[in-house]
Chain A
Amino acid sequence: MPNEDHLLVKIRNYAFLVIGLLAIGIAIGVELTVNPPETAPFDLLPILLRGLAVTIELTLLGAALALVVAIVAGVARSSGHIIVRTITGFYVEVFRGTSILVQLFWIFFVLPLPPFNLSLTPLQAGVLALGLNVGAYGAEVVRGAIGAIPSGQIEASIALNMSPGLMMRRVIIPQAMVRILPPFGNLLIELLKATSLVSLITLSDVTFQGLALRQSVGRTTEVFLLILVIYFLLAYPLTLGVRWLERQRQWAT
């Protein structure tokens, strides 16, 4: 029975890949028949790939910030201290309750004005918006995972005379990690996809390069097709990674 399940999961994983690639293949095929290009679309690739570095940089820095924010805010939201809990609750609700695009505009266009007078480079603004937005979702994941730890674990830690900090570090967080990792993988994919929004604050990521290319050479379908393929190829390994993580549960039976 477990073997059958395993096989089904495997088939399903590959099915998604096959369907995805098939869809892209058909789209390319249709595009090339309807609209035969003088040159293959791949001549556009080098320019788009120039944006790739920016996209990856944003993803990595944004994810690092989101991770720190998620853990700090998630632990703070589980805190017994009502003021700490309320403040982080406010942050989480504001950042989950408004659009990331609006947050990005606030950070990039409003913060430089009085009374804030805080000018950020587009990269800093992008990383901050992505980190704070995804961090807010991550904080809820962390809070949920901490809340799911049975009270017996806390009582055993007290009976062993652990300090609250030690209990958090060595008992609660390691157990919460198992529940946290798969949803964090999904948030990382969301974050990667959301990086395309920073093209709107003049950061030259893949999407930005694509938009510029479309203006200069036209060939709209080819440009957007390539962008689609690039994002898919970036995100799909992450998806597979999340599935792998979900299967790794050494001690949790």
Chain B
Amino acid sequence: MRAFTYERAGSPAAAAAAVATQPGAKFIAGGTNLLDLMKLEIEVPTHLVDVNRLGLDLIETTPDGGLKIGALVRNTDLAADMRVRSDYPLLARAVLSGASGQLRNKATTGGNLLQRTRCPYFYNTDMPCNKRKPGSGCAAMGGLSHNLAIVGASDACIATHPSDMAVALRALDATVETVAADGSERHTPLADFYRSPGETPHIETVLRAAEMITSVTLPQPLGGVQIYRKVRERASFAFATVSVAMVAGSVDGDIRVDRLAFGGLAHKPWRVEAAEGAARSAEAIADIVLAGAKPTADNAYKLPLVRRTLAAVIAQAKSESAR
């Protein structure tokens, strides 16, 4: 690990100012992704600003009936919150499907959104990777890509975003609140938060330098049947190969998909609005989702997996809405 200096911030704006003043500085929250990458010298911050004790660990009801989740709320506390469990079960389920009990006790809402990809070549500093070293090439193309993207990728990068929580937040129309070094605040819909890889896969979000996430806000509860189904290579403690976040209602015994987002398919949580708002068969939904898919030989298995997972989720939605 490269040497760095460390400080504890006194307020969110002071934290942003501290990161702004020192070139190469970064925020540290739970540390569960950043420290892993620092040990491998994939992340090489010169200065760490600890944002853990700034009182950003509260979940508050908003005046319009939504929920404001502090950026430092731990994944365990988010999923255990009774309001989240009863009003946003999709979010509780997604968070609980990720990582392990130990990691969720540390992992924060802000850090989870900003975790980096698990592409094996991003982690292997001996190999070319445009995301880790812009312009060096992409070893995943023609290499091991079984867990990488089939939609929304670019010629520069086919990585996936690993977060489960972000998939649920995308389906629920969450907004990300941030503060900059000068104290100014911004609200960014999660829909606009992540960038497509394009020619610059190393720039993953619209966050500006030294901008700190302070909270994530959910609009009013949606109701309906909410399902997060994660398919992975072992029953627990593994990243998604494909995950489906669905909010559904029923019309005359058919399932109407109100919200639909996927994990494991793209560079960002992949919402498919074109498949929302109508009752369609799982096959018809899959046709919409997979139109324009460009799998590699290694990950073409995700095409049938998306179809089958959707069929299972629709069947589950049917049986849950019949209850």
A and B form one complex: no
Residue ranges of B at the interface with A (Cβ–Cβ < 8 Å): none
Residue ranges of A at the interface with B (Cβ–Cβ < 8 Å): none
